[in-house]
Amino acid sequence: MSARIIKSFVLICLAFVCFAKVYALDLADVSPETLEIMRNNPSLLEKYQEQLNSQKTQSDNRTGRTNASDKNNLIENNQLPKNLDNLTEEDYRRYPHLRNLQRYDNGTVFPLQDNATGMFPPKPPIPDPFVKKQLRYMSDNETKTIGVFGFVKYPNKYKVDKGFNILDSVAEAGGPLELEKLQKISVYRRGAEVADFTYTPKNTYRMSQYQLQDNDTVILEGRYEEPQDNITEEVKPLEIFGHNIFNSTENFIPDQNAINFSEYILGPGDRLQVYIWGRITKTLSLPVNADGSVISQETGRVQVSGKRFEEVQYIIKGILESMEGVSAEVLVENVRSIRVLVLGEVTRPGYYTVSSFNNISSAIVMAGGLTERANIRNVQIKNGGNTVGNIDFYNLIIHGDSSGDFLLSPGDTVFVPRTSMRVTLEGKVRTPAIYDLKSGETLSDLIRFAGGIEASGYKKNIFLRSFADDGKVVTKSYIYGTNLRNAKLRDGDKVFVMESDIPDSNSVELKGNVYFTGMYSIEKGMRLSDILSNKDMLKRNTALEYGYIERYTGEGKTKQVIGFNLGDVLRNPQNHTNNVEVQPMDVINILTAEQVKAQHFVNVSGEVNAAGKYKMPEIANVMDAIMKAGGFAVDASMENIEVVRKIGGKFYTRFIDAETARKLELNADDNVVVHSKYADSPKGYVEVDGEVNNSGSFLLSENLTVSDLVRKAGGLKKEAYRDIAHLFRIKDESFNYTLTRISLADAMNGNTESNLILRDGDKLFVHSVFEFNPKKTISINGAVNVPGKYIYATEMNIKDLIISAGNLKDNAYYDSAEIVRMDIVDGVTKYSVIDVNLNEVMKDKYNVRLQPYDQVYVKEVTGFRESMLVKVSGEVLFPGEYAIAKGEKLSNIIRRAGGTTDYAHFSGIKFIRQSVKEIEAENLKSMKMRLESMITAMSSQEIASSLSAQDVAANESLTKNLENTVKKLDELEPQGRVVIDAENVAELAKSSYDFELESGDEIYIPNKKSTVTVVGEVFQATSFAYDKSRSTVSDLLNRSGGMTEIADKNNVYVVRANGSVVSNQYVKSNFWWKDIYDVKLNAGDVVVVPRRLKFPSYMRDIKDVTQILYQIATTFAVTKLMF
């Protein structure tokens, strides 16, 4: 036996040395035929090496062609026949090694090459007559059937020679589709995977040595890639918000036919056209002269310069129509041109001649638009050295408010300043762009400018990236709707809103052996039978006896598994024991029959290439398990295979050889150990645990000591306790242990008393120093920046602890702090309190040395708070942010801001409060939910089936209107406005509207309004000049052309400039002789004419819808007043 082992070992070593030399060559220079011959004739290897060294050969193997010089040399040495392309039977008898070669039309011989171009052949073998004869011989004698499938060119079953290995079989199937995309080759036997090889050049030899058995199946896996379009989508850079509207000249050329001339101020250079008909028929063209008058025979001299066209029209018509039988109409025939200067950050600054109907924006367009540095938030208009006005174009772009974009006058200078604060907003917002901001504007303003966050945006983590004063990058995170208004921005900041990937809150996921996997929406009370409605959803071979639900509960999303009997769910849905009620985010798993069967696992260890625990089929032998573990390693003994099996609660061991391993069937949980051929007996193992770098089991070698084992485990950790370690040793066959205490320090130093020689089964445990000296803590709470527990250190005093806790807060009470100390006296815990003066402690005049588990409490000064700020803007002398005292009132802060200017419209004061905004947000959310509930109810099948044709039309119309309203609600942001009803500061101070201020309040006093506005279902929804003589709601509606046919005339209402609402119902209930049309309007008021809704008959008595729509419309109208 020993002689046979030595002989085998020598042969293996020679083969290994031969292959080492072969693979040491540059394989790109070796033809397949030459390489195969050298494998069988090592003496040729040295000759070929000499040829390489003398550089007598050249490689063309990368192109798939056989090197001619190699062939000629081998032919001359009588190692190859002269005609390789047409082999005869005599050639095969003379050169028997050629019988194992598969030939291909490109000269490539598989599997002898290791480079990417020649590893696998591109075509099946050439069927020459002799090969056919050989195949017939094989079919009659030693053959096997191998299936090759997957990532190959010709997947099929093949009858091959009995000696074929994995690579031979792959070659038989034409090779892989693309070698560079080949990833893995697996071997299956009787349905179980017995071997798998990741494709690498290193594994090529292992695959060539793996002998397949009859009816094995080889599966190749590769990367299947979808064809990629070479055209890459260009990522557009972010635009500067608002700059694009100044790019096109077409948008800003005033159309004289579309101009409302009623408010136009006439002047020299204008021309009027007068049409006269009736008793006199005539057309007059009247230029406005330099003295500001127009002259004609019919009208005489009329002074028109400086007057509104509407006024002049009235005068001239009055003169002409005073003549009996004469009618007249006055129009503006032509308007004068003026000269203006455009300066600052425009493309072409300079003088421009424009129409007197040109406004500020059109002048900027005529100057070529804006540069990248332009700031459109504060464009100034100057005349005669004085600033006569400015405009924030964001009001025009975002809110459509063109009131600031007034007409230019002769001599005006338009100045566009350079930006001083620019912030980038990216991600899931409605308008990602680069924004110019004013001083004091916050993250809340920035998101409002962008139109808000998209529905898919994640509102709980808004990132703000800033540059600090020292140049460092600081990143902060904010939650939408809470502290955004306090998030101050700086020039260069970047804000990013991520996309939300939170799962749907009203759906479950169906997975597994069903035809329609994916997400299913659910409603409250739905059960498994509602999702798995019938058995047709199930695929073949579904396990009916068991399925399970994965449910994640609690704040930490703890996983819970709920099992159910699928068959019972389908047969008896009324049985709620199995027919479980589903919850949002559940994952329903439907299994195959194989998945619910008992799993057979076998542990394979020792001298195998991939030791581990493997799943095996029900019928498998020991050799199948070894092949599953990668086959035998180099040092494996074919005669010493150990099988450990548990029978009746006891373990039994049997030693077998490789031949028996092919016959002995496995049981579940068997342990297979392949021992080394160098060991006379099965190997022993020792174990180390505790404070070592790599704890675990290690092979017991001869004379292995404690220090050797520690080094095998990667050495000691720094926390290892070196004075004491414990060695557990098996005492007898009953597996009782003895305990030996050793000095680990002595063992590592080689002291034989502690550095014991280990035995099979020994277990060494290395303790931690913290087991003998546990970590101690102390705590600090109260007015420190980072309260909490800290590790106790010797010699630690109270000042050290305060500094470790981030130092004292500003509101810390220095005169007294407390230390609560715990002492154990005679087995009883006692506490004492030590009073400390922090003034002396922080000046190092006094200190207290701390003990473990001391608790320090720093008291806080009562009434201390950070500054409370409110913002005052608009028509006050000194706008800005003001710190307020507790209890300070609204009237006082306006006085502190210098009072109102002469242009203030105090009755239109806008008072914004954050807490009110939050309440409005909840109300809007509630209204939206109620509307969505109504839409769902109106869309139900029960209602639809019971309606008449007339009601169906009304139902559809109302549903559509409600859906549009819901969309508008999504776009609407709460304003938080509180109505203030006062005409001036003095009146405010005496009224109940003089509120106590809160931090974050905003007060805005607008300038005087000279217009009233009508919106909704009128023929001309616009603003009109306020006229006291025509100031009722009825007058304004008449000026707007009256109400449309679909107007709801009974629900017209007025939104006052101060935000209060006057409804028709209010007027009628308090003034029975009046209605809404008699209400007197003030400058700045808005009249709202809502649309009349058609209600189906079943809803005509329901007031809830009307009430909600009224509240929403009022909110929209108040929002309009806000801007």
Per-residue pLDDT tens digits for 171-187: 888 788 787 788 888 88
3-state secondary structure of 86: coil
Cis peptide before 111 (omega within 30 of 0): yes
Give pLDDT tens digits for 1088-1117: 888 776 655 555 444 445 555 545 555 544
Q: What is the mean pLDDT of the chain?
A: 77
Q: Where is average pLDDT lowest: 464-473, 593-602, 895-904?
A: 593-602
pLDDT band for position 345 (cuts 50, 70, 90): very high
Quick one: what percent of the chain has pLDDT higher than 70?
76
Q: What is the pLDDT, as a whole number, of residue 405?
A: 81
Give pLDDT tens digits for 208-231: 778 888 888 888 888 755 544 444
Residue 969, Cβ neighbours under 10 Å: how many?
Answer: 17
Using the predicted structure, report yes or no on whether residue 721 has a pLDDT greater than 50. yes
Q: Cα(1013)–Cα(1054) distance, rounded to whole angstroms?
A: 10
Tally helices (H) and strands (E) across the chain. Answer: 30, 50
Mean pLDDT across 958-968 = 68
Tokens 């947000």 -> residue: 921
Q: Cα(196)–Cα(759) distance, rounded to whole angstroms?
A: 36
3-state secondary structure of 1058: coil
* Phi then psi dihedrals of residue 300, to 5 deg: 75, -160
Q: What is the pLDDT, as a whole number, of residue 765?
A: 93
Q: What is the pLDDT, as a whole number, of residue 110?
A: 34
Give pLDDT tens digits for 799-844: 888 888 889 888 888 888 888 888 878 878 888 888 888 888 888 8
pLDDT band for position 75 (cuts 50, 70, 90): low
Mean pLDDT across 63-89 = 48
Using the predicted structure, report yes or no on whether residue 13 has a pLDDT greater than 50. no
Q: Cα(25)–Cα(399) distance, rounded to whole angstroms?
A: 77
DSSP letters, 416-482, are EPBPS-EEEEEESBSS-EEEE--TT-BHHHHHHHTT-B-TTEEEEEEEEEEE-TTS-EEEEEE-TTT
Hey, CA dihedral for 559, 563, 569, 572, is it positive or negative? negative
Mean pLDDT across 707-716 = 88
Q: Cα(1119)–Cα(1015) distance, rounded to whole angstroms?
A: 13
Q: 950: which residues sit within 8 A by CB, 6+ positions away?
A: none
Q: Where is average pLDDT lowest: 40-49, 588-597, 666-675, 1050-1059?
A: 40-49
Residue 112 vs residue 373, higher pLDDT: 373
pLDDT band for position 370 (cuts 50, 70, 90): very high
DSSP letters, 294-362, are EEETTTEEEE-TTSBHHHHHHHHHHHHHTSTTEEEEEEEEE--EEEEEEEESBSS-EEEEEETT-BHHH
Quick one: what percent of the chain has pLDDT higher than 90?
9
Q: Cα(493)–Cα(487) distance, rounded to whole angstroms?
A: 12
Mean pLDDT across 387-407 = 85
Q: Cα(811)–Cα(804) distance, rounded to whole angstroms?
A: 18
Give pLDDT tens digits for 777-801: 899 998 899 899 888 888 888 888 8
Q: 1105: which residues sit within 8 A by CB, 6+ positions away?
A: 934, 958, 962, 1093, 1095, 1099
Q: What is the pLDDT, as a whole number, of residue 962?
A: 67
Residue 482 vs residue 357, higher pLDDT: 357
Using the predicted structure, report yes or no on whether residue 131 has a pLDDT greater than 80. no
Q: What is the pLDDT, as a whole number, of residue 971?
A: 66
Rank 79-88, 587-596, 951-960 by mean pLDDT and report only the highest: 587-596
Using the predicted structure, report yes or no on whether residue 753 has a pLDDT greater than 70. yes
Using the predicted structure, report yes or no on whether residue 423 has a pLDDT greater than 90. yes
Domains and CATH numbers, the chain: 2-179 (no CATH), 265-334 (3.30.1950.10), 338-416 (3.10.560.10), 422-499 (3.10.560.10), 507-596 (3.10.560.10), 600-676 (3.10.560.10), 684-772 (3.10.560.10), 777-860 (3.10.560.10), 1009-1092 (3.10.560.10)
pLDDT band for position 437 (cuts 50, 70, 90): very high
Q: What is the pLDDT, as a whole number, of residue 424?
A: 93
Mean pLDDT across 435-458 = 89
Hey, CA dihedral for 655, 658, 662, 667, is it positive or negative? positive
3-state helix, strand, coil in the chain (%, to 5): 30, 30, 40
Residue 943 vs residue 1067, higher pLDDT: 1067
Residue 469 vs residue 99, higher pLDDT: 469
Q: Where is average pLDDT lowest: 707-721, 912-926, 982-996?
A: 912-926
